[in-house]
Chains A and B, each alone.
Chain A
Amino acid sequence: GAVVSQHPSRVICKSGTSVKIECRSLDFQATTMFWYRQFPKQSLMLMATSNEGSKATYEQGVEKDKFLINHASLTLSTLTVTSAHPEDSSFYICSARAQISYNEQFFGPGTRLTVL
């Protein structure tokens, strides 16, 4: 149980284009999903908290117009990187929190974004 999928696993795009990443909880309903960014050999950096049916809460320093988050259902959240630039290249990971848990989060496999 507690499986989270992410799509795509890897994407390469040109500078200036937008990229959408999907995060799905496959066998449980997730009222809350999280989006992280991870730089090489570093820990996870929380970007935003995504709540089903409401606006996402962004961490300080994360541009909400740059990283659009939509959580339209209890099993799907999307992150759109708009007008991507090479500095946006990174490993993006989503996680989902089950409705009843000790703050446990279950992570997707991650998406490697490379902006040329």
Chain B
Amino acid sequence: TQLLEQSPQFLSIQEGENLTVYCNSSSVFSSLQWYRQEPGEGPVLLVTVVTGGEVKKLKRLTFQFGDARKDSSLHITAAQTGDTGLYLCAGGRYNTDKLIFGTGTRLQVFP
């Protein structure tokens, strides 16, 4: 059972457009990470959010953790071709070192 559902599954947009990726669960997480993975490479950590309602900004990327710590969103402003990749959210739990990975969102940004 996949505990973290991401939507949309695929997203194809043109440079300059804005987009939002959602990561939803019915479970509560102690922390939530967002990763970006390019083909043939390992995921790269973008951000960690730990407090309900927390908002973090990383240049054109804005991350939000839901108030109840069950969901998160990633908003990209003015997408660039370099944003292309697989975006993965991952939730942490208090009683385990393991991360629960989301289903992934594949983003393609065209020039």
**A67 at the B interface (CB under 8 A):** no
Q: Which of the candidate stretches A69-77, A82-90, A105-113 sits at the interface with the other chain?
A: A105-113
Q: Which residues of B contact A91 (CB under 8 A)?
A: 40
- Residues of B contacting A105 with CB < 8 Å? 33, 45, 90, 99
Decide if B31 touches A44 in the complex (CB within 8 Å): no
A25 within 8 A of B: no
Note all chain B residues with C-beta closer than 8 A to A93: 42-43
Residue of B nearest to A43 (CB): B104
A44:B33 contact, CB within 8 angstroms? no
Say yes or no: A104 contacts B42, CB within 8 Å: no
Q: Which of A4, A43, A46, A95 has the most CB of B within 10 A?
A: A43
Closest-by-CB residue of B relative to A41 is B106
Q: Is the CB of B42 within 8 A of A46?
A: no
B7 to chain A, nearest CB (A): 13
Query: Smallest distance from the beta carbon of B34 to chain A beta carbons, Å?
Result: 11
> Is A102 in contact with B50, judged by CB distance below 8 angstroms?
yes
Chain A, residue nearest B92 (CB): A103
How many residue-residue contacts, CB under 8 A, span A and B?
62
Count of interface residues, chain A, beta-carbon cutoff 8 Å: 25
Docked CA distance A91–B86 (Å) = 15
Interface membership of B80, Cβ < 8 A? no
Q: Are B101 and A44 closer than 8 Å at their CB atoms?
A: yes
Is B44's CB under 8 angstroms from A107's CB?
yes
Residues of B within 8 A of A110 (CB): 40-42
CB distance from A77 to the nearest CB of B (A): 13
Nearest-CB distance from A25 to chain B (Å)? 13
Partner of A107, one of B40, B42, B48, B97: B42
Chain A residues within CB distance 8 Å of chain B: 2, 4, 6, 32, 34, 41-44, 46, 49, 91, 93, 95, 97, 102-110, 112
